[in-house]
Structure 1
Amino acid sequence: MGNLSELQISLIAIGMVVVMGVVLFNWMQQRRYRRGAEEAFGREHEDVLLRTAASVEKDERVEPQLGRELLDEFAMEPDTESPRVAELAEPETKPSSPPVLDTPITRIEQQPSFVNRVSTSVDNITDAVDYVVGIESGTLIADSNLTKLLQRKFDFGKPVRWMGRRSPEAFWEEITIETNNKSGYRNLLGRLQLADRAGPVSEVSLSEFRDMTENFAAHVKATANCPDIQQAYARAVLLDEFCTQVDVMIGINIISKDTGAFTGAKIRVLAEASGFKLGAEGVFHYRDENNAILFSLGNYEPSPFLPTSMRMLITHGITFLLDVPRVANGENVFGQMVHLAEVFTDELDGIMVDDNRLPLSDSGIRKIRQQLGAIQSLMLARNISPGGETALRLFA
């Protein structure tokens, strides 16, 4: 009996260790996916769901103010990568019912990256969102030398891209390490992005990029053309200030009534039937025919939507999110998102609310639509097409 008791105690102890190990493993997995979901939604954005209170607490998101002083202060150069939209169409009369889900969305067609263009000097190519340097050589620059230059594209805190041409009459083309296997180039353009969602490029990084360009040009016996660093940094700061004004994410929450809850199984069925696909980071994405994300659907609570746990998941809310500067024709896309939010609200028997858990009325939705239109009009006025290549670079 004594030996049997010791065996039982040992088995119980081993069982407890196994259970604790499983719990710890699940906790680590949950934490990893939660971190992935937070990264998928990006940094905190302004929220355009309007507040009814006269004042806003310090930690609340503030409605963006699109003042004319910013427009006057920040005069950007034309965006050569995206077609300019001369004017927006007159707003159509909003129907009483939401737009039909299967109505196709007409996206603004974008020019391919680095449009082929004939130029005789570096000065003929400008870009408002890059610090552009030029290298001119009388002979072809060896591929081995150029590879060393391309390998430093991650050394300056912001994206770097290079273009090249083989003669003054040739087209400019993008150069990467993978494509650098041709007969060489006589002229190069280096483009260091001035800002993104992490903020403006630093003056130190600009100086290091210029120094690298000048040293490379000297090494290959070429001439470097590098604009003034202080002026470039001032442009970067102004660009970042402008982007902050239009960097808005619209969120629509659907919460359960009283003490009710939503099941993960039903949410997944509704999401997949509506065209959403679940991403590895625990968020559903609704994409267009080009696989670009139009809006997303996540858990209102911290836990991400994981394929392995959706069947057993219980939550008290879900959130639809639209990243305004990264979507073309935002008002149309917003209409689709609202329509789906209404479908989910009905099917889940929930309540559509703002971030203060106040019911979201038709007038509130109209105000959001107006704000969205104003933001995207402001971007177009600065020749940054919402959802276009430049916007996707700036708001990454």
Structure 2
Amino acid sequence: MSTLQIGLAIIGGLVLAGVVAYNAWVTNKNAPRTARERVPAPGGSVPGPEERAGDENLPFAPADVTESDVQRVEPVFGDEPGVPDPVEPAEVSMAAASVGISPLVSQPPEKRPGLDALIDVIAPLVLEHEVSGDALLAALPGTRRVGSKPFAVEGQSETTGEWESPRLGQRYRALQAGVQLANRSGPLNDIEFSEFVVKAQAFADAVGASPDFPDMRAEVLRARELDAFASGHDAQLGFMLRARRTSWSPGYVAQHAAKLGFVAGALPGRMVLATTQSGNAPILSLVFDSQAAMAEDPEQSALREIALSLEVTHVPRSEQPFLRMRQAATALAEAMEGVVTDDGGQLLPTEALDQIGTDLESLYDALDSRDLSAGSPQARRLFS
């Protein structure tokens, strides 16, 4: 072999090695960022919640909650035998502020909200004699809905005097039936009111009670008025966090979100920031592609955007949800090299965020003026 051939062979080998090295570099650069193993603190222990949270000057709960600690609670009147758990609603569209149609993840409340004349049609059921809770439960209809609205029966406790869902072993001298005036499916209509009358009458006949129904036209008119108010004050907020350069893996996102107090939600690709009050809705939801979360090897799944959302009417103003949403979005964007945008990909400047905060204060005031304060049982039922 001549010197020329040897030189050409060497050059060819170097070029081939360079191509292989370049391809490996490109592949590594474009691979999604993955979660890193937690480095033990001095002494071999894993940093505790206080140490983990110490990196952020944010008012979030420490990330020491597991998925099993957070359960989903729907704003309903009571347990309905034979009815499966509700399906998780679709995540909100990520507009800066919108009126629309949603999720609740939290610990179950000690007492479910009962009928309220503010948002329910209530019909007294007059009894000639006291009746047992066992008999009431046996006479309840198979479904607790009238059309798209929740239906409920309550008895006045003989011991406490409070209205409650019928319970075994209890005695009741007064009953009432009710149906919700409005929800995100719209106002109670004539057909639904008639169905309510039929269902309540059948129950009353079974337990020996005489119902006293209110005027249908007046109640339907009240339902429309309540629905009009709710439609104009049903706000949901959302930010998009988009990767500037390298994509993220689901584990990478979860690792950074956990530092801010987020825990796994009820569905794959969903995390929530739990409230401090038992039974309340989560303060924030963080959502990413569920397909990536369920992949055989999630760490090889590439995410280029995640959504951060706030169900305004479900979270009390005292939790400062919008402030915490802004702080979470900023912290995640800085930690993961991303940017905060609206659903159209437009950057959200400080001025726009300040204006949203101002508008929210007006919304909270309007809800308060109707005794439908954000996060209250009545608001959570109405906006569901």
What range describes the TM-score normalised by the shorter chain of this pair?
A: 0.5 to 0.7
Contact 1:298/1:305 (8 A) holds in 2: no
Show the counterpart of 1:324: 312
Change (3 A) 1:220 1:274: closer
Change (3 A) 1:203 1:152: farther
Q: Considering only CA atoms, is the larger Rg found in Structure 1 or Structure 2? A: 2
**Aligned equivalents of 2:286, 2:262: Cα separation in 1:** 8
Pick from 109, 121, 131 the counterpart of residue 121 of structure 2.
131
Amino acid corresponding to residue 274 of structure 2 in structure 1 = R
Show the counterpart of 1:286: 273
**Aligned equivalents of 1:155, 1:391: Cα separation in 2:** 19
**Aligned equivalents of 2:285, 2:329: Cα separation in 1:** 11
Contact 2:156/2:164 (8 A) holds in 1: no
CA shift digits 1:135-178 (9 cap, x unpaired): 111211354542244234424132222221266x96133124xx
Show the counterpart of 2:220: 233
CA shift digits 1:246-303 (9 cap, x unpaired): 111111111122x54223232111011221112231201010223540001112x574
Q: Is 1:196 aligned to residue 180 of structure 2?
A: no
Show the counterpart of 1:75: none
CA-CA distance at 1:320 after TM superposition: 0.7
Contact 2:93/2:238 (8 A) holds in 1: no
Show the counterpart of 1:351: 339
For residue 384 of structure 1, give the secondary structure of its aligned residue in structure 2. Answer: coil
**Aligned equivalents of 1:278, 1:264: Cα separation in 2:** 12
Q: Is 1:250 aligned to residue 237 of structure 2?
A: yes
Contact 2:121/2:178 (8 A) holds in 1: yes
For residue 343 of structure 1, give the secondary structure of its aligned residue in structure 2. Answer: helix
Contact 1:114/1:172 (8 A) holds in 2: no
Change (3 A) 1:270 1:307: farther
CA-CA distance at 1:327 after TM superposition: 0.5
Deviates more, 1:152-161 or 1:310-319: 152-161
Change (3 A) 1:264 1:155: closer
Change (3 A) 1:269 1:215: closer
Pick from 335, 343, 366 the counterpart of residue 354 of structure 2.
366
Contact 1:48/1:248 (8 A) holds in 2: no
CA-CA distance at 1:331 after TM superposition: 7.4
TM-score by length of 2: 0.66
**Aligned equivalents of 2:319, 2:300: Cα separation in 1:** 36
CA shift digits 1:57-78 (9 cap, x unpaired): xxxxxx559xxxxxxxxxxxxx
CA-CA distance at 1:308 after TM superposition: 6.0
Q: Is 1:186 aligned to residue 173 of structure 2?
A: yes
Show the counterpart of 2:321: 333
Show the counterpart of 2:3: none
For residue 335 of structure 2, give the secondary structure of its aligned residue in structure 1. Answer: helix
Q: Is 1:305 aligned to residue 293 of structure 2?
A: yes
CA shift digits 1:56-107 (9 cap, x unpaired): xxxxxxx559xxxxxxxxxxxxxxxxxxxxxxxxxxxxxxxxxxxxxxxxxx
Q: 1:75-224 counterparts in 2 under 5 A?
A: 113=112, 127-143=117-133, 145-157=135-147, 158-165=149-156, 171-176=161-166, 179-182=167-170, 184-224=171-211
**Aligned equivalents of 1:274, 1:335: Cα separation in 2:** 14
> Which ranges of structure 2 fall in alignment gaps of 5 or more residues?
1-86, 101-108
Contact 2:94/2:342 (8 A) holds in 1: no
**Aligned equivalents of 1:222, 1:126: Cα separation in 2:** 21
CA-CA distance at 1:307 after TM superposition: 8.4
CA shift digits 1:91-133 (9 cap, x unpaired): xxxxxxxxxxxxxxxxxxx996568xxxxxxxxx961210101
Change (3 A) 1:304 1:311: closer
Amino acid corresponding to residue 284 of structure 2 in structure 1 = F
Q: Pairwise CA RMSD of aligned residues?
A: 3.0
**Aligned equivalents of 2:316, 2:157: Cα separation in 1:** 36
**Aligned equivalents of 2:116, 2:366: Cα separation in 1:** 21
**Aligned equivalents of 2:89, 2:165: Cα separation in 1:** 31
Show the counterpart of 1:387: 375
Pick from 271, 284, 300 the counterpart of residue 295 of structure 1.
284
CA-CA distance at 1:237 after TM superposition: 2.1
Deviates more, 1:319-328 or 1:216-225: 216-225
TM-score by length of 1: 0.64
Number of paired residues? Answer: 286
Change (3 A) 1:310 1:227: same
Contact 1:253/1:354 (8 A) holds in 2: yes
